[in-house]
Amino acid sequence: MTASTPSPDSLRLLAVHAHPDDESSKGAATMAMYAAAGVDVMVATCTDGSRGDIQNPAVEGAPHPKRDMAGARRLEMTQAAGILGIRQRWLGFTDSGLPEGDPLPPLPAGSFAVQPLERAAAPLVRLVRDFKPHVIISYDENGGYPHPDHIMAHKVAVEAFAAAGDPARYPGTGPAWEPSKLYYDRAFNPERFRALHFALEEAGLRSPYAERLAAWLEADAEGHTPPPGTHPTTTQIDCGDYFEARDDALRAHSTQVDPLGFFFAVSAEMQRRVWPWEDYSLIESRVPSTVPEKDLFAGLR
């Protein structure tokens, strides 16, 4: 079945993310805005987040994440989804972790990033055929930043977008459904960081972005500094009214997000004044659409 032009109250958006917390740091205000407007928004979380390190000093001694990181992050994900007003599904894979060292160690056997593509994509194809999204959002080929699970999340999202509408592919995963548009998230858009950096400097405030901007063109050997994206911004979603919801959702991931850290260095008020958008690249559209866009559903309304 091919997506036909939906009525405004039946629009559906699917965002594919590698770990619980990625949905809150990438595109969360967009999702909250669309959900508040009546769009059915779902996040597909590829992995359980079980190999994530505790990033928040305030919870370093908490017993639950030390005993059961995946269980703790499941509770955090439920809270974040409620804050954003979205639905969420787990695809059922094990976190691969971020390898460190020289040489890099092999990824854990059975983890998400070492799965054959068809095995890794099958649960997402099933979800696409069941949820029937008109728009899918994912990461670029670099994964947004080169974590192996982010790169695999990109691969399965592209595979599902291409395959879900073909009834001959992925038999047994439900009736075919063809999504209409595929976007890559540009959460690490250098133009945004520059704008916020200069706004902070003009206000006489310390910018946390100086080092990131200086090193932007050189990803370090262990993949912690993302290189600039290779896809231009085609679509800006004006979602500044939902920056507080985004920040609250981020704080819900208390094992992974320091409430005094990088993500909260610029007030929501200043961000609304300087860069009130979240940025995307339109990669493929099966409906007529002209860029630049201000709506992920342009051509579908």
pLDDT tens per residue across all 301 residues of the chain? 444 455 545 899 999 999 999 999 999 999 999 999 999 999 999 999 999 999 999 999 899 999 999 999 999 999 999 999 999 999 999 999 999 988 989 999 999 999 999 999 999 999 999 999 999 999 999 998 889 999 999 999 999 999 999 999 999 999 999 999 999 999 989 899 999 999 999 999 888 888 777 766 454 445 455 555 579 999 999 999 999 999 999 999 999 999 998 889 899 999 999 999 999 999 999 999 999 999 999 999 9
Amino acid identity of residue 13, one-letter, is L
Is the separation of the CB atoms in 235 and 292 below 8 Å?
yes
Residue with tokens 């998400």: 112
Fold classification of 8-188+233-285 is Rossmann fold (3.40.50)
Q: Confirm if 60 and 54 have CB atoms less than 8 A apart.
A: yes
Count of positions (residues) in the chain: 301
Match 């579908």 to its residue by tokens: 300
DSSP symbol at 102: S
Q: How many other CB atoms sit within 10 Å of the CB of residue 166?
A: 11
Residues 6+ apart with CB under 8 A from 28: 84, 242, 245, 246, 249, 250
What is d(CA 80, CA 90) in angstroms, rounded to the nearest whole number? Answer: 14
Distance CA 276, CA 279 (A): 10
Contact assessment for residue 134 and residue 297, using Cβ atoms and an 8 Å cutoff: yes
Q: What own/partner pairs with CB < 8 Å and gap ≥ 24 does 114-121 have?
A: 115/152, 117/155, 117/156, 117/159, 118/159, 118/170, 120/46, 120/93, 120/152, 120/155, 120/156, 121/155, 121/156, 121/159, 121/160, 121/163, 121/170
Amino acid in the structure at residue 146: P
pTM: 0.92
